[in-house]
Structure formats: structure tokens, C-alpha cells
Amino acid sequence: MPIFNDFKSEDWKDSEIWTDSLWLISERDKSGKHDGFYHGNFVPQIPRQLINRYTKKGDIVLDPFLGSGTTAFECETLERGLVGVDIQNEILKNVYSKLDEKNKIKFALITGDSGSSKILEEIKTKLSERKKDFAQFVILHPPYADIIKFSDKKEDLSNTKSLKDFLDKFSLVLKNSIEVLEKDRYLAIVIGDKYSKGQWIPLGFYCMNEGMKLSLTLKSIVIKNMSGNRAKQNKESIWKYRALSSDYYIFKHEYILIFKKN
């Protein structure tokens, strides 16, 4: 079986790669370039673990929802290349300005809709410029439907008007990602669920199903706790009261869905 990371079997006891399906992260890492200013970004420990497990130094990671650059800064630290896409040009400029000058040649940041054919061709071009035919790993952290509005652009998944619309657009991003992912390599979706009109919407499972419909092999469902969620920090009593009085449970988890391309 091919090894797609820098793990050495003789060092397995000292490996910092997590192998359990429950990730308890007490607080987000704010070291280095991670400052957490961008609402909706994910904790750096997630891309760090995934990149360490599924890539080697010199590999290229594709992030179709780059946002404030959590994946980019982890790739920089771990000596990987990156092709990152986001619909907001200003946020990409901010990410690029934070990269070390010596590393900028390894990184390609593209503004646009990750589900479009135009962006797919740009991704292929950026890979080719870096002497790669494919990306070696893909990590997707999309908007959780309409929970947080990220822009006014109609292509933005956070502006979709229905669950079907969200899944249709997300599926287009998945298709593009799969097309540029190397065979037998891995893809991860980081996603949570949502409430709507008093009903739990299992957004994570719907996204998982989109991956399986595209013939990806599901390798794991990792549950990550949300104890460090800043929207709930120091407000435990209020949230408990709301949950009891309004008939719902408090979100405390997200999914990390790990797939393999056959």
C-alpha cells in the first residue's frame, strides 16, 4: 500500500498524527499567522492533522474555500504547496500579504467560483506551472449553507436559497476538485449541521452523500468538538436556557469526512 505522508513506521509511537475518530480540541491555535479574525474559519489543528497524514513535503494541497487562509498558513509551515480559491478577492489579498516572500512562488491564489469551468481550468494551469498534473490532497471547508453570509455574490454558497441549491452548487465544487485530485489520494470535507424552522438539518450527511454519489470511497467520519466556538464562549447558561425552553440541542460537534479517489 502506498504511503502518502512522511510517517516512518519505526517512529509510530512518537507520531503526532491523531488516529482516533473523535478530536477533542480545547481551543484554536492562535500561534504564528493564525489570528482567528475571520468568522467561520476553522481551527488550524484540523488542516495540520490532515496535511500531515495525507501529504508529503513538496506535495500540493487544493483548498476551494480558502477564506482567511488557515490551510495556506499550515501548508507554509509544513512545506507544502497550495492552490487556494475563494470568491472574495480582498480576503485572498490579505492571505497573500501574510505569506513569506520565499514561499509565494509555491502558492497560487485564485479569485472566483470553485464550481465553475473557468476556475477549473485556472486550477489546472496553476498546477501545471508548478510541475504537477494533479493536486495530492483536497480540503473543503464550505459555508454551512446560509448560517453565515460571507459576501453579496450570487455564486457564494452562503447565499443559496434552498438546501437543494446549496447541494447542487457544492456538488459542482466537488466534481472540479475530484477532477484535479491525483488517483488514490484523499479529500476531506469539514462541515457542520444547522437548524432551520425548528428542525435539525443534517448538512454534514447531505454533503457526505454528495461525495458518495460521485464515487468517492468514504474512509472515515471524524467528529470534532466545538468547545472553543467563540459564539458560545462564556455564554453556557444562556445557551442551556435557550435549548431547554426552545426544544433543541446545542451544537457541539462538526464532521471531518474523509474520502479516497479510486
Residue spans per domain, the chain: 14-260
Q: What is the pLDDT of residue 127?
A: 98
Give the confidence band of 28 by pLDDT, cuts at 50, 70, 90. confident
**CA 56 to CA 80: how far, in whole Å?**
7
Residue 236: Cβ-neighbour burial (10 angstroms; 0-12, 13-18, 19+): exposed
pLDDT, residue 260, reads: 98
Amino acid found at 200: W
The per-residue pLDDT for 229 is 52
Q: What pLDDT digit, counting tens, does each position of 47-100 carry? A: 999 999 999 999 999 999 999 999 999 999 999 999 999 999 999 999 999 999
What mean pLDDT value characterizes the chain? 91
Question: In this predicted structure, which of 6-15, 43-52, 163-172 has the lowest mean pLDDT?
Answer: 6-15
CATH no., domain 14-260: 3.40.50.150
Name the residue among 233, 234, 227, 230 with its Cα closest to residue 251. Answer: 227
| Range with the poorest average pLDDT among 44-48, 81-85, 199-203, 238-242 | 238-242
Residue 232 pLDDT greater than 70, yes or no = no
Question: What is the pLDDT averaged over residues 92-116?
Answer: 94
Are 86 and 80 a contacting pair, CB within 8 Å? no
Give the model confidence (pLDDT) of 157-168 as tens digits: 999 999 999 999
Higher-confidence residue of 13 and 240: namely: 240
